[in-house]
Structure 1
Amino acid sequence: MKVLYYPGCTLKTNAKAMEESALEFAGELGVELIEMKRWNCCGTNFNLTTDNFMHQLGPIRNLIRVQEAGEKELVTLCSVCYATLKRANQKFKSEPDFAHRVNFFMDEEPDYRGEVEVFHFLRFIKDRIGFGRIKELVKYPLDWLRVGCYYGCQVLRPEDVGIDDKEHPRILEDFVSALGATPVEFSEKIECCGNFATIAEPEFVANRAYTIIESARKSGANLIITSCPLCHFNLDRSQVLLRETFAGFVPIPIMYFTEIGLYALKGKYAGSSFVNNLIDPKPAIKM
């Protein structure tokens, strides 16, 4: 099975290890993620502007590239990219006046027809492969791990673009269970990690991370997984500051979901995995 893949900026810079693990994990599932051509930034930073029209053009242009390739499905690995692309696509499909205005404005591009479907890779796996199939492929069950599944906000809200129930999601827990590990419930799993506030207010984001991590720890987690590179960055990097701020704070390693999936299937991790982690996950997963 082949499907077009939108990497986005982070997966090509600070999160290349996550991209590597996702591509290898996909291959183990019989899926070839083919990087789309001529992609541009999803446009998430422009969501901070007051012009609701202009910040939709970047994601729509990416969907035009998919249309030009003759494809109708697009997979992303980043929750922020997913939310940006999905929301723009939904708006285009549901608001004819907006769709007309977009195509009129981008007069040097082919008209977008609204026929592309955007998937987060986690949801694509559930819908196209099935967690039952993953369970069959597991060669190294992770039965010693108690995993906190952290969603954050971008993949769940708003409701019409979320990959699961916005209040009681289970998709990551079901994925973890298929790998043989035990998912643990914790109250902060759907709360925001602080998002891009990490640039200007790292102390605020560190406090958010502390609340999230301690919630997972009190529920018995010895590892936290995410489906978002930005959440991964904030939760991992903040723990350096937290060790300096809170006496007795014990870090918990953070992993991207395909990294733990690859280990369960192959007993290894992708070559560059964890190179950017400040909290080393290897002791937790007994590497």
Structure 2
Amino acid sequence: MRELAHLLHSNPAFKEVGDKANEALGREKFHGHLKIYHVQELRYKQLEKLTSLVKRPLTGLKIASHYGCHYLANKDVAIDDAQYPTFHEEIYKALGATPVVYKERRACCGYSVGRGFTHREETVLPHITNKMLSAAAAGVQLMTTTCPGCNTALDREQKTITARGNAVSIPVIDLSQLIAFALGAPVEQLGFKANTTPVLPVLERFIK
């Protein structure tokens, strides 16, 4: 929606087509009075407020980010440098954690479109293995994403990676889950039980 709004605002011909479609559907023309934010952007814009609301400071927790290709690829609407983004790391610091930059930080999760299923064995698994072993070598204790597809790939394939002789166990959760945990949300409401790689062993020391 954020990208589409940008296209409508910056391309008159595109907007004209959209207006004709709305007319055919009996809807109003697109005026663009409302500003659309990506959820990551909203979190970052509230960084100061998030800092003031922290109930569980994540002191000493080494966290790494996986931004996700699709958001950063949209350079006209992304809020950071697509090649070297840092706003997730700023959020980690606000929550009291220690950001970790690892070698394969910008690597894709490997599950883009259908490749996660059609070329899993020869392409996806070696790719994810490199990424997760790189994070493990850098001392990462927890990883966050903002894409459910990336989350599924990076979390659930660790079991297969380990079975193939490369033991790795780094919990992968959504950035919103991390923020909610740090702000004191009840753990049973955060969906950690859906993970294949256990989350609580890494976070239990912060639970009082």
With the length of structure 1 as denominator, give the TM-score of the two structures. 0.65
State the match for 1:193 in structure 2: 109
- Which 5+ residue runs of structure 2 have no aligned equivalent? none
Partner of 2:181: 263
Structure 2 Cα separation of the partners of residues 248 and 213 of structure 1: 10
| Partner residue in 2 for 1:280 | 198
Secondary structure of residue in 1 paired with 2:203: coil
**Relative to total residues, which structure has the larger strand share, 1 or 2?**
1
State whether residues 181 and 190 of structure 2, in contact with CA within 8 Å, keep that contact through their aligned partners in structure 1.
Answer: no
For the residue of structure 2 that corresponds to 1:154, the secondary structure is helix
Q: How many residues align?
A: 200
2:126 equivalent among 194, 197, 207: 207
Whether 1:235 aligns to 2:151 is no
* Structure 1 counterpart of 2:151, one-letter code: H
SS class of match (1:159) = coil
- Given the alignment, which residue of 69, 84, 87 partners 1:171? 87
Task: Give TM-score, length-normalised by structure 2.
Answer: 0.87
- 1:113 matched to 2:35? The reply is no
Q: 158-167 or 277-286: which moved more?
A: 158-167
Please tell me the residue identity of whatever aligns with 2:62: R
Q: Deviations over 1:124-153 (max 9, x none)?
A: 1222x2x22222211221113100111121
Verify the 8 A CA contact 2:128 2:154 in the aligned structure 1.
yes
Output the CA distance in 2 between the equivalents of 1:241 and 1:235.
Answer: 11
- Rounded Cα–Cα distance in structure 2 between residues aligned with 1:184 and 1:262: 20
Question: What is the alpha-carbon distance in structure 2 between the residues aligned to residue 135 and residue 250 of structure 1?
Answer: 31
Check conservation: 2:64, 2:140, Cα contact below 8 A. Answer: yes
CA contact (8 A) 1:120 1:163 kept: no
Q: Structure 1 unaligned segments of length 5 or more: list them.
A: 1-84
Deviation at 1:243, TM superposition (A): 1.8
Matches within 5 A, 1:13-162: 85-106=1-22, 107-108=24-25, 109-127=27-45, 129=46, 131-162=47-78
Distance 1:208 1:117, change over 3 A: farther
